[in-house]
Each structure stands twice: as structure tokens, then as C-alpha cells.
Amino acid sequence: MPNFAENRKARHDYETLETFDGGLQLLGHEVKSVRAGGAKLTGAYLHLNRGELWVSGMRISPYAKAGKLANYDPERNRKVLMTRAEINALLGKTQQKGLTLVPFSLYSRGRHIKLSFGLCRGRKAYDKREKLKKKDIDRDMRKESGI
């Protein structure tokens, strides 16, 4: 399962409550571009529209060997494929105040491109500082015990 793109900042900015996986509905040249490393998840988010789950803000660059692509929008909305029951459960959970769906990574399972995302709550600035401080202390403790 190689990772094609990762949103590292999302793990820092948000507290993950639950994680999910879903397929992506992509065009052929987009799949080749993702496999070649042409995808960026920075600033992307998921939203529900008319009972369907969509990812917005994800950039997939045009595939270099595909030639000239007329009217191709690299940041178009892409449909996330999940079962109806999973989407309905997400709909209920995202109605709570302060919860959002944030993409974490693009990876492959077999020949399919999958999107890993989470139900998250935003962290405050002091929570982020506290998390970094705890991480530094843990690293120092491991370093001292290892010597």
C-alpha cells in the first residue's frame, strides 16, 4: 500500500475522532498522475452534497504524457465512493458542531486509489503547543534511556 500523497499538517491541526476509507472516482489520466506523485491534499476537505460525499480542494496535476487536455480543472470536486449506510452515518456525525471531514492520505489497494480521511475536531493553538511539548519530552526521555 504505497502512499501517493499525505496531508501531514492535518494530523497537527485536527484531533481525529474516527477514521474512514473510501474510493475515489477519477479519470484515467488522473489515476496515472496520482501514481506518478502528482496529487496534493493540502487544504482539501470533504463535504456532503445531495447524499453524496465529495472531496474539494485536492489538486491532481495534469498527467505529463497525456498531451493537451482541454478544459481540465486540476482542483475539481471528486466523488468519494462509500456505501449508503456509511454516508448516512457520516451525515449524522457531521451535523454536530465543530466536526469536519479531513483527508489524510491517498493510497492504493490493489489497482484502486483510496482516500483515507477522518472525522475531526479542530485544535486550538494552545492544544497544538501542548502536543508539541509532550512530543519533545517523550523524545528526550527515550534518548536518555537509550544511552
Chain-centroid distance of CA 147 in Å reads 38
Confidence of residue 117 (pLDDT cuts 50, 70, 90): very high
Instruction: State how many domains the chain has.
Output: 1
Collapsing DSSP to helix, strand or coil, 107 comes out as: strand
Of 7, 15, 8, 6, give the one whose Cα is nearest residue 128: 15
* Domain extent for 49: 3-146
| Residue 114, pLDDT score | 92
Show the cell assigned to 92.
449524522
Q: Give the whole-angstrom CA distance, residue 116 versus residue 68.
A: 31
Show the cell assigned to 119.
472525522
Which CATH number belongs to the domain containing residue 42 in this structure? 2.40.280.10
pLDDT in tens, 57-67: 898 888 878 77
pLDDT in tens, 5-55: 888 888 778 888 889 999 999 888 888 888 888 888 888 889 888 889 999
Helix H or strand E encompassing 33? helix 28-35
pTM, to two decimals: 0.76
Mean pLDDT of 139-144: 85
